[in-house]
Structure 1
Amino acid sequence: MDTAFRKINIDIYDEDVLQDSELYEADPRDPAEVLEDAKQRAGMVRSLLAKNDIPAALTVVLENAPYGPNVDDAKARILVVDIMTLQTLLTILNTTKSADIPGVIKSLSLDTQDTLMKYLYKGMAMPGWGDVSGSVLLGWHEKLTEVAGVGCIVRTMTDRRIV
């Protein structure tokens, strides 16, 4: 049976196809700058966690997330050197007491809550869920859905920007 027809990209023949570049602006920084920024953020987060300032640490991690095709190389490099934004975020999630989670989430802006949901789904997509237990990610997901509503999930699923 011939299955080659399934590998044809029919969008190249359509004039009205919607490109990702038309939906959002890609990160203008080059991969080296994104990597350096992630390293700096990891240091700032450690400092804020030492002061027990969870909302500020989450804001540092979640704001100005790198989007776009030009940062894929940086994301891969960050993974290799284990300074990935997700790892920093998972550190915050693990150190937060479950009773404090709703208050922390309420202190975040709507966009930051959506970005947090993206990272939660990214953490759940990791094989073996990385260095964090599933209960932590699911607990945060539950609390985030309670505070931000189901709209947060819908916005995350329909947003073409991937963290």
Structure 2
Amino acid sequence: MDAFRKIDIDQYEEDVLLEEELYDADPRDPATVLTDTKSKVGAVRGSLSKGDIAGALNLVLDSPPYGPNVEEAKNLNLQTLVSILNSTKSTEIPAIVRALSPDAQDTLMKYLYKGMALPGWGDVSGSILLTWHEKLTEVAGTGCIVRVMTDRRTV
């Protein structure tokens, strides 16, 4: 009786949009993406040891991994970003966010939402993510949220 609900009617439609067609895939192969992300982790640790939080954040947000088959690189980049967020004082956040380019601000918002989507919010406390979200929204405005919600490239 419920068998009709399991039929994928999109398979018969000629004009169906597939997820792969909604955005251009990352031109790098998954192994290269993972290698690039691992090299970023070392550079971020070096920047954090020097106290350059803005530089470390720019490294993580520059050309993030996206697309299919790069989940390990995506998770590693998220963990690296979380370590930056955890090591930042709340009084420094507005200045750091203002120093970011608009594209980097949008990418940071994507990572904040990804962190909030994790069950139990992963390795970061909710107050840190919400504080960053608040400061980022104050600087970038609500347009940043809209751009992140409508962008098909997920981090």
TM-score, length-normalised on structure 2? Answer: 0.91
Q: 2:147 aligns with which of 133, 151, 155?
A: 155
How big is each residue's C-alpha offset from its partner over 1:123-159, in whole Å with a ceiling of 9 and x where there is no partner? 1111111111100000000001110001111111111
- 2: CA distance, partners of 1:160 / 1:7: 26
- Is contact 2:66-2:74 (8 Å) kept? no
Contact 1:35–1:75 (8 Å) recurs in 2: no
Other-structure match for 1:118: 110
Pick one of 71, 77, 93 that aligns with 1:75.
71
Shift of 1:34: 1.0
Structure 2: stretches of 5+ with no match in the other structure? none
Q: Residue 147 of structure 1 aligns to which amino acid in structure 2?
A: V
Distance in 1 (CA, whole Å) between partners of 2:23 and 2:96 is 28
- The residue aligned with 1:49 is 48
SS of the aligned residue for 2:92 comes to: helix
1:128-143 counterparts in 2 under 5 A?
A: 128-143=120-135
Distance (whole Å) between structure 2 residues aligned to residue 162 and residue 78 of structure 1? 9
Contact kept, 8 Å, 1:24 with 1:161, in 2: the verdict is yes
Misfit runs of 4+, over 2 Å: 4-24, 76-79
Identity of matched residues, %: 66
CA distance in 1, matches of 2:6, 2:42: 44
* 2:98 pairs with 1:102: no
Count matched residues. Answer: 155
> Quick one: structure 1 residues 134 and 30, their matched pair in 2 at CA, closer, same or farther if it must change by over 3 Å?
same
Match of 1:87 in 2: 79
Rounded Cα–Cα distance in structure 1 between residues aligned with 2:146 and 2:6: 29
Question: Alpha carbons of 1:77 and 1:151: their partners in 2 closer, same or farther (altered >3 Å)?
Answer: closer
The answer for unaligned runs of 5 or more in structure 1 is none
Q: Root-mean-square deviation (CA), in Å?
A: 1.7
Match of 2:33 in 1: 34
Partners of 2:37 and 2:77 within 8 A in 1: yes
Counterpart Cα distance in 2 of 1:119 and 1:8: 35
Deviation at 1:32, TM superposition (A): 1.1
2:16 partner amino acid: V
